Amino acid sequence: MTFEDIQAFIFVYRLKSISKAALRLNISQSELSKRLQRMQTELNSQLIDTTNKRRLVITQTGEDFYESALKIMDGYEQMLDKIAINRSSNTTTIKIGTVPISSQYGISKIISGFNAEHPNIFVQLIENEGKNLIKELDNGSIDAAILRDTQTDYLSPISYGIKSLVSDELLVIMATSNPLNRMDSVSIKDLKEEQLLMLPEGSGVHEPILEMFSQNGLTPKIYFQSSHIETLLGMLNNSKSVTFLFNKSVKPFINADLTTKSLTPKYSSTLQFVYKQRSVTQLMLSVLHRLINELKFSN
């Protein structure tokens, strides 16, 4: 049994689906099924029950194994972090890709302060869409990335270090003249006839909104998409359209003509710092710890 096998089971457990887990792991369903069968043979115990073709069931042994699997993977990640402390670095420049939130969350200010305190080190922030950042992290164009948890949930901790930075609530944004402004909070069903202004796929906002509509058996009426927050908000004035943005992202742009509402139920997301496990250095961890400490303090 390998760490990859254990991680595969964790995905199956969380998604309760072999097909969905295989998609996240970027392997075929047959390969994943073979992995699970080998694990069950080695353990001489059944972890999952696939008798019901419509619903995968985790056995009690599977439940116990899942708890142990989490501890194994956590220990593995901690071991890699300890090794990183002693890993030397030949570079004094670190490139960190980030979804377009560095100013609103104070990340750019933190990095600027870090650079000022360490004149021999240069940390560079590069904003891009989440799906592009993952590709750049894979090919080595950047050393780390700051992403939403919706963009990292399929990344394996075997290959990537994933550390939480700060959580934020997703809000519905609308003109104050919008009739929905009379409500204390807004559900997805309240928005079934609304025209939606959306950030594009890969933004970390697009994906959960589509998932919420799907869970309610609805199709969102998206008539405009833009990666620019100012463009979306500008189009809300004197209209009945709505958009969705995270609280800290939209807060600097809210004025008397716009209002924000919580979703019912509330939805929050976490910004995460992602790096390749086998290439992280003490220098990278120093930047990470600065971000964690200062963002936690500011929150």
In the chain, which ranges are E strands? 48-49, 57-58, 93-98, 122-127, 144-148, 160-175, 185-187, 195-198, 221-225, 242-246, 258-264, 268-276
Do 77 and 192 fall into the same domain? no
Predicted local confidence at residue 165, as pLDDT: 93
pLDDT tens column, 96-126: 999 988 988 999 999 999 999 988 889 999 9
| Number of independent structural domains in the chain | 3
- C-alpha closest to that of 18 among 7, 2, 30: 30
Question: At what angle are helices 29-43 and 3-15 packed, to 10 degrees?
Answer: 110
205: DSSP letter: S
Across all residues in the chain, what is the average pLDDT? 89
Do 261 and 246 fall into the same domain? yes
Predicted local confidence at residue 74, as pLDDT: 84
Do 15 and 130 fall into the same domain? no
Distance CA 133, CA 127 (A): 9
Do 254 and 187 fall into the same domain? yes
Do 228 and 180 fall into the same domain? yes
Distance CA 172, CA 47 (A): 41
- Per residue of the chain (299 residues), what is the pLDDT tens digit? 898 899 899 989 988 999 988 887 878 999 999 999 999 999 999 999 988 878 899 999 999 999 999 999 888 877 877 776 666 666 688 999 999 889 889 999 999 999 999 888 899 999 988 888 989 998 999 999 999 988 887 777 678 888 899 999 999 999 999 999 999 999 999 999 999 999 988 788 998 999 999 999 999 999 999 988 999 999 998 788 999 999 998 988 999 999 999 999 999 999 999 998 877 777 888 899 899 989 876 55
For the chain, give me the number of helices (H) and strands (E)?
11, 12
3-class DSSP state of 298: helix
The CA angle 282-285-291, to the nearest 5 degrees, is 150
Q: Which of 84, 103, 137 is the last residue of a domain?
A: 84
Do 155 and 278 fall into the same domain? yes
Do 210 and 228 fall into the same domain? yes
Structure tokens that stand for 72 in this block: 């194994």
Do 158 and 281 fall into the same domain? yes
Predicted local confidence at residue 284, as pLDDT: 85
Q: Are 164 and 272 in contact (CB under 8 A)?
A: yes
Domain carrying residue 217: 168-268
The structure's pTM equals 0.75
CATH of the domain at 212: 3.40.190.290
Q: Which of 47, 65, 84 is the last residue of a domain?
A: 84
Q: Which of 84, 100, 121 is the last residue of a domain?
A: 84
Q: Are 123 and 114 in contact (CB under 8 A)?
A: yes
Predicted local confidence at residue 216, as pLDDT: 94
- Note the maximum CA span of the chain: 65
Q: Are 32 and 22 in contact (CB under 8 A)?
A: yes
Predicted local confidence at residue 4, as pLDDT: 87
Do 283 and 216 fall into the same domain? no
Rg over alpha carbons for the chain, rounded to the nearest Å, is 22
CATH of the domain at 141: 3.40.190.10
- Length reported for the chain: 299
- C-alpha closest to that of 137 among 188, 195, 167, 98: 98
CATH of the domain at 73: 1.10.10.10
Paired sense of beta strands 160-175 and 258-264, if any: antiparallel
Predicted local confidence at residue 91, as pLDDT: 67
Do 72 and 187 fall into the same domain? no
Do 285 and 257 fall into the same domain? no
Predicted local confidence at residue 94, as pLDDT: 92
107 by Cβ neighbours in 10 Å (0-12 / 13-18 / 19+) ranks as: buried
102: DSSP letter: T
Paired sense of beta strands 144-148 and 268-276, if any: antiparallel
Distance CA 14, CA 18 (A): 10
Predicted local confidence at residue 243, as pLDDT: 97
Distance CA 53, CA 216 (A): 23
Do 69 and 144 fall into the same domain? no
